Structure 1
Amino acid sequence: MDQIDLAIKLGRKSSSSVSEWEKGKYTPKIGVLNDIAEIFGVSITDLMNKDLSSDDGIRDKVISMYDSLDANRQQAVYNFTKQQYNEQNNVIEFPAPTRTQVSVYGAVSAGTGEYLLDGTPELVDYDGAVPEHDFAVVVNGDSMEPTFEDKQIIFVKKTNEARNGQFVIADYDHQAFVKKFMRDEHGARLVSLNKKYPDMLIDEDHELSIFGVVVF
């Protein structure tokens, strides 16, 4: 750009001021410096502190080429630029927590048995790793705390049998529960981890069906 061209862009009638700036005789005032920075598309900080004579217009070329790319290629340019920036500045990025959706088949009580399993799944957001399972349910109540908390999603493998000490999903007198299955000299029963809830005896006076065991 000629001196007179710059002078005109700055609203001046002659190029004398521009010539004096280039010779180092005078320094433009801050407002003029800001105008010059805008004209040449650089930051005022770079204009005042950096040697821009080696800049062969790479920035403008990159921006021009970027604007001509389709959306997918623009995203690729951004990803590469971000990688270069992170490497230069020793930035370490940690992956975001994985979030997925699981099909939850109703609720099981960890309390008084007020909920029943139904056959209609509901897609629910879930953070974390999902183990291999056959179905998932949500816990309602606090009888299995601290292992299972209220509103926690738990994953289940289908089976109608359980080993001593396993956590089971069971239908007890037509209501669904998550409990610990125990069998010892005192007989078979469903046990709550929260001791304020009594054991649920398994005998001829109660109907029991096991849906599955909890997987972790």
Structure 2
Amino acid sequence: MSGLGNKEIMAKNINKYMRKFDVDRKKLSSDLGISYTTVTDWIKGKTYPRIDKIEMLANYFGVSKSDLVEDSISSIETIYNQLIPDRQSKVYSFAQHQLDEQTRLQTNNKVIVMMPTKSTTVEIAGKLSAGGGTYNDKSCVETVEVGSTPSHYDLAFQVAGDSMYPTFEDGEVVFVKETNDVFNGQIGAVEINGEAFIKKMYLEDHKVRLVSLNTDVDENGDRLYPDFYSDDFDDLYIIGRVII
């Protein structure tokens, strides 16, 4: 057994099987009929599922309950842990891209487990880029089905890109409270020169620093999504605070 606690082990194993079967938080929440917030707490290791929910998860993924509650370290992890940080970053980046490619190739052969679903229709006000910027066409409003919604929100957007992974996934619907009061370190929805972003925000002097949560690096060790700034020369509009 590693030094991980029960909640962290459970979170690690749920995430492993979500990746294996190409299931995101939204789909898992909808398929299980469990709130998006509860599922998010499980996969982030904030809470531990009750025994009946563990059995439900095991049936959903087609594994035993012990596969979810017990920790196991594979040989590749053993090798990885012996590498220096610079080499670990390169191995992780390569493995992540291999997994992404595999997932795309398996799209038409996914294992789908049918469960009772509950859904809510919400209006999408546009897209928030988790990458290089997305034009915010406010006239293009569409509706989508989601597993659950916060009790109070003003706008819903769809994430485009993976720079905010693992907290926010490409295609995920996020909910925003319209306000100018987005404090340092909070996740905000912001429009810069007509392009909309979802980023962690910091006010530094008279500039806003926008930070991505995805820490993947390229083969040279450089971040795929480095921080960037907006200053007085930009047309900056804070849409609001993303509800987590």
TM-score normalised to the size of structure 1? 0.51
Tell me the CA shift for residue 161 of structure 1: 2.7
- Residues 117 and 176, structure 1, Cα contact 8 Å, conserved in 2: no
CA 1:169/1:128 → structure 2, altered by over 3 Å: closer, same or farther? same
Structure 1 residue aligned with 2:124: 104
Larger Rg: 1
Partners of 2:118 and 2:149 in 1: CA distance:
7
1:213 equivalent in alignment to 2:241? yes
The correspondence of residues 1-216 of structure 1 with structure 2, limited to 5 A, is 96-183=116-203, 188-195=208-215, 196-216=224-244
Partners of 1:187 and 1:115 in 2: CA distance:
22
For residue 150 of structure 1, what is the amino acid of its counterpart?
D
- Residues 207 and 232, structure 2, Cα contact 8 Å, conserved in 1: no
1:125-157: per-residue Cα shift (whole Å, max 9, x none)? 111344410010000001111111000000001
Larger RCO of the pair (alpha carbons < 8 Å, separation 6+): 2
Partners of 1:203 and 1:136 in 2: CA distance:
26
Identical positions, percent: 40
- Residues 127 and 134, structure 2, Cα contact 8 Å, conserved in 1: no
- SS of aligned partner of 1:133: coil
1:29-65: per-residue Cα shift (whole Å, max 9, x none)? xxxxxxxxxxxxxxxxxxxxxxxxxxxxxxxxxxxxx
- SS of aligned partner of 2:169: coil
Q: Which deviates further from its counterpart, 173-182 or 193-202?
A: 193-202
TM-score normalised to the size of structure 2? 0.46
Partners of 2:232 and 2:201 in 1: CA distance:
17
- SS of aligned partner of 1:156: strand
For residue 188 of structure 1, what is the amino acid of its counterpart?
V
Tell me the CA shift for residue 122 of structure 1: 1.1
Partners of 1:131 and 1:140 in 2: CA distance:
24
Q: Which runs of 5+ in 2 are unaligned?
A: 1-55, 57-114, 216-223
Partners of 2:162 and 2:201 in 1: CA distance:
17
Tell me the CA shift for residue 108 of structure 1: 1.1
- SS of aligned partner of 2:146: strand
Tell me the CA shift for residue 120 of structure 1: 3.6
- Please, what is the CA RMSD of the aligned residues? 2.3
Tell me the CA shift for residue 173 of structure 1: 2.1
Tell me the CA shift for residue 103 of structure 1: 0.6
Partners of 2:122 and 2:193 in 1: CA distance:
28
- Residues 107 and 137, structure 1, Cα contact 8 Å, conserved in 2: yes
Q: Which deviates further from its counterpart, 145-154 or 129-138?
A: 129-138
Aligned residues: 123
